[in-house]
Amino acid sequence: MIRTQVGYAGGTKDNPTYHSLGDHSETIQIVYDPTRISYEELLDIFWSTHNPTVRPWSRQYASFVFYHDETQRELALKTKAQQETRRGTIFTEIVPAGTFYPAEAYHQKYRLQQSSLMQEFTEIYPNHDDFVASTATARVNGYLGGAGTCEQLREELDGLGLTAAGQDKLRQTVCSNR
């Protein structure tokens, strides 16, 4: 995974915001290296990390796969059919990716923004767009949110751009809980 960004998609309203979402849904856009992880693997994570068998109670929190090409569409439909065989009715809609509207700055890398490690990344990336586009911020945010293992962190810790103190803090947070 190279970078992540949260935002709004799937609706018709121009320039939605969190407080004026229109008919859009809360969405995550992932840019990934296909030589490191496949779209099928991303779909596996998608199906296993939320419950698509529950009818969404609002458009804001609906379940969607927004496909970017025909291969993604076919894989999404195939895996949805597999999920239905296993779990029953799946309410996930599979639709073409349209305009993705990035969410407001305070929603991006939310866990990281709540952490004292944020100070270090503010110095590295004073520009918000650079901060959002960073692989390091995406990965640190993921670790702080509970993803990844202590072992994975140890392998890439030196590449995240943190000071020795920042590394210690992240290591303690991740490795004491997992």
Partner 1 sequence: MSRKRLIAGLLTIIAVIALGAVYFGFSRKENTMEQIRTQSTNIPPIDASAPVHTEAATFAMG
| Residue 110 contacts partner 1 per CB under 8 A | no
Tokens of 104: 């407001």
Helices 164-177 and 135-144 pack at an angle, to 10 degrees, of 40
Give which of 151, 141, 158 is closest to 178, Cα–Cα: 151
* Per-residue binding letters, 15-54, with partner 1 (x by CB under 8 A): ----------xxxxxxxxxxx---x--x---x--xxxx-x
Question: Is residue 94 part of the contact set for partner 1 (CB under 8 A)?
Answer: no
Write out the binding residues for partner 1, residues 127-156 only, by CB under 8 A: 134-136, 139, 156
Taken in order 168, 28, 67, 89, the sign of the CA dihedral is positive
115 binds partner 1 (CB under 8 A): no
**Rounded distance between C-alpha atoms, residue 90 and residue 83, angstroms:** 7
Around 78, how many Cα atoms within 13 Å sit in the side-chain half-sphere?
Answer: 10
Among the residue ranges 14-22, 60-68, 78-86, 108-116, the one whose residues contact partner 1 (CB under 8 A): 60-68
103 secondary structure, DSSP code: P
Query: Measured from the CB of residue 33, what is the shortest distance to partner 1 in angstroms?
Result: 5
**CA-based max dimension of the chain:** 50
Shortest spacing between CB 175 and partner 1, in angstroms = 19
| DSSP label of 37 | S
- Exactly one of 22, 56, 102, 148 binds partner 1 (CB under 8 A); that residue is 56
Adjacent-strand bridge partners of 142: none
The correct pick among 65, 132, 153, 170 for binding partner 1 (CB under 8 A) is: 65
The count of residues interacting with partner 1 (CB under 8 A) is 45
Residues that bind partner 1 (CB under 8 A): 2, 9-10, 25-35, 39, 42, 46, 49-52, 54, 56, 61-66, 68, 72, 97, 100, 123-124, 134-136, 139, 156, 158-162
